[in-house]
Structure 1
Amino acid sequence: MKRWLLSAAAALLLAGCAETAPEDATIVIPAGASVARAGTILEEAGVISSSAFRTQLRLFGGDAPIKPGEYAIKAGMSAGDIVKMMQDGDVVLRMVTVPEGMPSIMVYERLMANEELSGKVDIPAEGSVLPDSYAYTKGEAREAVLKRMQAAMDREFDKLWATRTARSAVKDRNAALTLASIVEKETSVPAERRTVAGVYTNRLAIGMRLQADPTIIYPITKGKPLGRRILKSEIQAVNGYNTYSMAGLPKGPIANPGRDSLAAVLDPEANDYLYFVAQGDGSHIFARTLSEHNRNVQKWYALRRGRGEM
């Protein structure tokens, strides 16, 4: 009789393990949640009973822990399927992307506009965020996501700083991020970044003003597009950022530079260019002398007039 009772108990346990999810559901297992808490979350969501989940994990789950995150449960999934999913960490991937050169005000706006995140954040320091795509969990704090973005920049900067060559004009983190942010805003062509960095390195070496248009715009819009032509008064403005009215670097970054722009200013191309101007296809043409540059500028103006832009 005792053997029969044990077999009946085992049968009940196995029957519980055979429970399946009646419909699709999404659940979130918070960091630090116990097995009991995870089972309660599943039961409250109407997925499977807490006892079925705990029994499956105890009998067949082995030693692997369940991992926190957001899980998409499909109708018909068994307790075993759900345990395996959670042990494998097969979470729903939700991503927030910071493009290269995005200013911090727009990083802030992107985080605040994401209704799947919670809480508030302040506008991060310019240049403190590494452009990349970041995974997050529904309901996660915006502050936690921002901290990951900033920690990623810290790690990447430390790694790249070790590659700095003697030719680089930057001597500290602020200078590196500042010059990299200018390079980032001046060209979107990856192959040009070290060349542009070389131009600015040459200018800094001889005390020539950088004259980078994005440094005019930043104090006006905090890095957002200006949406119109730059005014003469804005070219002449003195504000700590405008490199038309001051020699040297601005007082800080004007955007969040990406890995390639950071690498470029730490190891700039060894060239003798001092000037560059757009060619109309997103790339630039470089010049060594002012007379050569002026000819290139006239070609650019002619192209713009042909497009009806001037």
Structure 2
Amino acid sequence: MLGAGAAWWLNRPLALAADPVELSIEPGTTPRGVAQAAVEAGVQLPPELLFWWFRLSGQARLIRAGNYELPRGTTPWTLLRKLVRGEESLRSVTLVEGWNFRQLREALAKAEQLRPDTQGLSGEEIMRQLGRAATPPEGRFFPDTYTYAKGASDLAVLRRALHAMDRQLQAAWARRAADSPLKTPDQALILASLVEKETGQPADRPMIAGVFANRLRQGMLLQTDPSVIYGLGAAFDGNLRKRDLLADTPWNTYTRAGLPPTPIAMPGKAALLAAVQPASTRALYFVARGNGHSEFSATLEEHNRAVNRFQRGQ
């Protein structure tokens, strides 16, 4: 009878003060402390009874620290299984391709129950915390969706995104074309960020990278508007004017030759691959068609005709 009664109790839903009950277990908490924490969180049961179950199961020392959600229907059996497996309640934050570092930080600041350890820190200070003191933060984090336990540090998410970009960049660099004008992985990252900002069309990325590669080989100015806009920073009002193209900044590719000094955004995997494997093309120019795609031209004369057609409606 005792065995049957215990089995019935172990599979009976626990009374909970809320739905769900949020249970936080700190590292080093004893099994008795876990039982007490569960009761204080809202599991309506004598802590001695819960501790008895943990101990009798033989798995009490396997319970893991973490943040857990206990929904309605949780039984003593499923509670212990969750704690032993470390099935923490997770949240997620998505870092979008083409975002700059400011936008990334805004997303982290708004992420649900992510501890804002970087709040008030400069980009330089954040990179120092991540062990990259000499590295500018722009473009160094891979755009993806990252899950995290409730109460996790935003610095931990950044560290994962940083390492993910390291891996993606290394993999892309290993596949670079033999005739690439790029000399270092950092240059590939910078070029990929320009490609990312110039188009969201998968088919156009290698062609745009091909135009930039051709210009780099010939010593031509890259003349890419997104880089100019990045250099303007808060001064950009959404309307790029001729005076902006003439306002010299380190990122103004109309006034300075070569690649800008840093990436201007977070490139995704496709943009990284396009940067190191550009299309083989004679094109030196491109202009937006107005439908999301670009028109590519090999000569200035062809380009001017394309501008008249797609930008001026002539």
The answer to whether the superposition gives a TM-score over 0.5 is yes
Secondary structure of 1:72's partner? strand
SS in 1 for 2:312: helix
Matching residue of 1:229: 239
Q: CA deviation at 1:212?
A: 0.2
The answer (yes or no) to whether the contact 1:52–1:79 under 8 Å persists in 2 is: no
**SS in structure 1 at match of 2:249:** coil
Indicate whether 1:21 and 2:14 are aligned.
Answer: yes
Q: In the TM superposition, what is the alpha-carbon distance from 1:70 to its structure 2 partner?
A: 3.5
Q: Which amino acid aligns with 2:240?
A: I
Structure 1 residue 156: deviation in Å? 1.8
Q: Structure 1 residues 36-45 or 121-130, which shifts more? A: 36-45
- Find the counterpart in structure 2 of residue 91 from structure 1: 88
Counterparts of 1:105 and 1:186 in 2: how far apart (Å)?
19
Q: Which amino acid aligns with 1:91?
A: E
Question: How big is the shift at 1:234?
Answer: 1.6
1:211 corresponding residue in structure 2: 223
CA deviation string 1:250-304 (max 9, x = no partner): 111111111111111111111111111111111111111111111111112235x
Structure 1 residues 46 and 248: alpha-carbon distance in aligned structure 2, compared to 1, 3 A threshold: same
Summarize deviations over 1:42-98 as a string: whole Å, max 9, x none. Answer: 121122554444444444476994455433212231110112233444433311111
- Unpaired runs of 5+ residues, structure 1, are 1-6, 306-310
Could you say which residue in structure 1 is the equivalent of 2:272?
Answer: 262
**Per-residue deviation at 1:138?**
2.0
Which has the larger displacement, 148-157 or 114-123? 114-123
2:292 is aligned to 282
Cα pair 1:17 1:55 within 8 Å, conserved = no
Distance in 1 of aligned mates of 2:64 and 2:180: 44
Pick aligned residue for 1:179 from 175, 188, 191:
191
Q: 3-state SS of the aligned residue for 1:302?
A: coil
Determine the C-alpha separation between the residues in 1 that align with 2:181 and 2:60. Answer: 54
Contact 2:91 2:112 in 1 (8 A): no
> What TM-score does the superposition give when structure 1 sets the normalisation length?
0.84
Match of 1:198 in 2: 210
Aligned to 1:107: 104
* 2:89–2:150 Cα contact (<8 Å) kept: no
Q: CA deviation at 1:246?
A: 1.2
Corresponding position: 1:78 with 2:78: no
Aligned residues: 295
Q: Deviations over 1:152-181 (max 9, x none)?
A: 112222222221221322221321111111
Structure 2: gaps of 5 or more residues: 127-136
Tell me if structure 1 keeps the 8 A contact 2:197–2:226: yes
- The separation in 1 between residues aligned to 2:55 and 2:258, in whole angstroms, is 65
Q: Do the aligned partners of 2:98 and 2:196 also contact (CA within 8 Å) in 1?
A: yes
**Alpha-carbon distance in structure 1 between the residues aligned to 2:309 and 2:202:** 23
Taking the aligned partners of 1:94 and 1:31, their CA distance within structure 2 comes to 20
- Change in CA separation of 1:96 and 1:276 when aligned onto 2, cut-off 3 Å: same
* Offset at residue 120 of structure 1 (A): 3.1
Distance 1:234 1:57, change over 3 A: same
Matched, 1:297 2:303: no
In 2, are the aligned partners of 1:160 and 1:262 still within 8 Å (CA)?
A: yes
Once residues 166 and 31 of structure 2 are traced to their aligned partners in structure 1, the CA distance between those partners, rounded to angstroms, is 35
Q: Aligned with 2:67: secondary structure?
A: strand
Distance 1:176 1:46 in 2: 53
Partner of residue 165 from structure 1, selected from 177, 186, 189 = 177
In 1, distance between residues paired with 2:26 and 2:171?
32
Correspondence 1:135 to 2:147: yes
Partner of 1:190, secondary structure, is coil
User: Given that residues 13 and 52 in structure 1 are in contact (C-alpha distance below 8 angstroms), is that contact kept between their aligned partners in structure 2?
Assistant: no
Structure 1 residues 33 and 236 mapped into 2: Cα distance closer, same or farther (>3 Å)?
farther
Q: Provide the C-alpha distance between the structure 1 equivalents of 2:55 and 2:166, rounded to a whole number of angstroms.
A: 41
Deviation by residue 1:110-143 (Cα, 9 ceiling, x = unmatched): 2123352223313361011100111122222221
Distance between the aligned counterparts of 1:298 and 1:78, measured in 2? 70
**Does 115-124 or 238-247 show the bigger shift?**
115-124
User: Which has the larger displacement, 194-203 or 77-86?
Assistant: 77-86
